Structure 1
Amino acid sequence: MGVWRRISLLLATAAVSLTAAAAQGAEEGQAAFEAKCAACHRPNGQGAPGLYPALLDRLGGYVELEEGRDYLVQLVSYGMYGKVKIDGVGYNGIMPAFASWPDGKVADVLNYILDTFNADTLPADFEPFTAEEVAKRQEPKRTPREVRTQARAALLKALEGKQSAAAHVPVIKGAVDGFARNCQGCHRADGEGASGSVPRLTDFVGYYTQIEGGREYIASIPGVVYSMLDDAELANVMNWMLKTYGEGELAADFKPYTAADIARFRADPIENVRTKRAQMVRRLQVAGLIPENEDGLNDR
């Protein structure tokens, strides 16, 4: 047998072994989640109001940050207690510690939760957790209270730091979680939208602020006005969204949304959003802001 053939066989064997290991890890992660996590966070990841936060479409943004990966590992390993607020909703449940779990089991559970409930929000370069990474991120060891006051606090600060400053749109506290929970499932973490059905935000949504009725339109669609956020929180999310995905296209005289604006829009929501959107897109085309064949739907 030639040298290159032996190398090819070795590589093929290694690939099969890695695939089998990944499959086993996924099975073990699912089993551990169903045995220890699903009772509180629910089998579908929806959580329990006031007690246990939802896992669905919320964690993809965390794993982009070192602080986020630290927090997830320490949350599972050491637990957490104390009140937290997410999207304006208070939670006061107790997250038990699983300090006795092997590092590989912690990694398997985290990867299962991310793959199952957050696949649409994971970054393109997402790297699954490994036992080696878990062991590293378990340091320093923390009490459940310290996980909340130190690890979680560091994560929230890092999330806020991702919001680039803009002179005409204020830095918004708490909006990242609001977007992730209420918008990201359809519009995606990168703002590109679900292919062919959900309009993209990136390099597009800001154009609406340059045409008559556009500012009102994007804050009056049903998916916005019927969210569970209160008026002030929703205004913050809208301002953050425009700054993050449409800053380059914003009108020079754009005025950030206020709670009073949102309350007014909620009193008169758009009934036929498809028809209204077609009208607004046509205005963008007539104004020369977008090409005639552009409609903002992500079918690329």
Structure 2
Amino acid sequence: MRWLRTCLQAAAVLAAALSIGGCFSNRQNEGAKLYQTHCASCHGEQGEGLRRLIPPVAASDYVTRNRASLPCLIRKGQRGPVVVNGVEYNQVMPGHTDLTDSQIANLLNFVQQNWGNKNEPYTIREVSELLGRCNGSDGQ
């Protein structure tokens, strides 16, 4: 009887762990999904950019050097010249007002940790505070 109870408890713990793991894995992949939906058509499937028209986000010195301005850049977009990896680009980047603060954090964390970028991840609180500087935080 005791053996059966122990087995049932172990099975319950395993089932709970698997369901939690699924929850986290969906959230963990949100950044990749958001990138594909909102960024890949311009910046490329692998963050490579488009020749001298659209800057890369892969192995990008701009991503590393402009941490504090990236959340506002995603929310509000950008106009005017920008230099990435020594190359000047001058195209309009549209803003993404449809993304929540937490989605922007997940999107940025995906870019920060992929394609040769090894930068510190953002917290949602940090992204909300940085978005507050450009009146872009939605508090979500």
Is residue 2:138 matched to residue 1:140? no
**Cα pair 1:60 1:114 within 8 Å, conserved:** no
Is residue 2:53 matched to residue 1:51? yes
The match for 1:131 is 124
The letter of the residue matching 1:36 is H
Residues 42 and 61 (structure 1), Cα distance of their counterparts in 2 relative to 1, 3 Å cut: closer
The match for 1:112 is 110
**Cα pair 1:50 1:92 within 8 Å, conserved:** no
Spell out the pairing of 1:197-216 with structure 2 (5 A cutoff). none
The match for 2:99 is 101
Partner deviation per Cα, 1:96-117 (whole Å, 9 max, x = no partner): 1112211111011111112222
Residues 61 and 37 (structure 1), Cα distance of their counterparts in 2 relative to 1, 3 Å cut: closer
The Cα of 1:59 is off from its aligned counterpart by: 5.0
**Cα pair 1:29 1:105 within 8 Å, conserved:** yes
**Cα pair 2:57 2:63 within 8 Å, conserved:** no
Residues 22 and 134 (structure 1), Cα distance of their counterparts in 2 relative to 1, 3 Å cut: farther
The letter of the residue matching 1:141 is C
SS at match of 2:94: coil
- Under a length normalisation based on structure 1, what TM-score does the superposition of the two structures give? 0.35
In the alignment of these two chains, the number of paired residues is: 120
Q: Distance in 2 between matches of 1:49 and 1:35?
A: 21
Q: Distance in 1 between matches of 2:106 and 2:48?
A: 20
User: Of the two, which has the highest radius of gyration?
Assistant: 1
The Cα of 1:41 is off from its aligned counterpart by: 0.5
The letter of the residue matching 1:44 is Q
The match for 2:10 is none
**Cα pair 1:70 1:138 within 8 Å, conserved:** no
The Cα of 1:49 is off from its aligned counterpart by: 2.0
**Cα pair 1:51 1:91 within 8 Å, conserved:** yes
The Cα of 1:21 is off from its aligned counterpart by: 5.4
The match for 1:31 is 33
Spell out the pairing of 1:165-244 with structure 2 (5 A cutoff). none
Structure 2 stretches lacking a partner, 5+ long: 1-15
Residues 83 and 44 (structure 1), Cα distance of their counterparts in 2 relative to 1, 3 Å cut: same
* Residues 21-30 or 45-54, more deviating: 21-30
SS at match of 1:138: helix
The Cα of 1:142 is off from its aligned counterpart by: 6.4
Residues 74 and 86 (structure 1), Cα distance of their counterparts in 2 relative to 1, 3 Å cut: same
The Cα of 1:28 is off from its aligned counterpart by: 1.5
- Under a length normalisation based on structure 2, what TM-score does the superposition of the two structures give? 0.70
Q: Identity of aligned pairs, percent?
A: 26
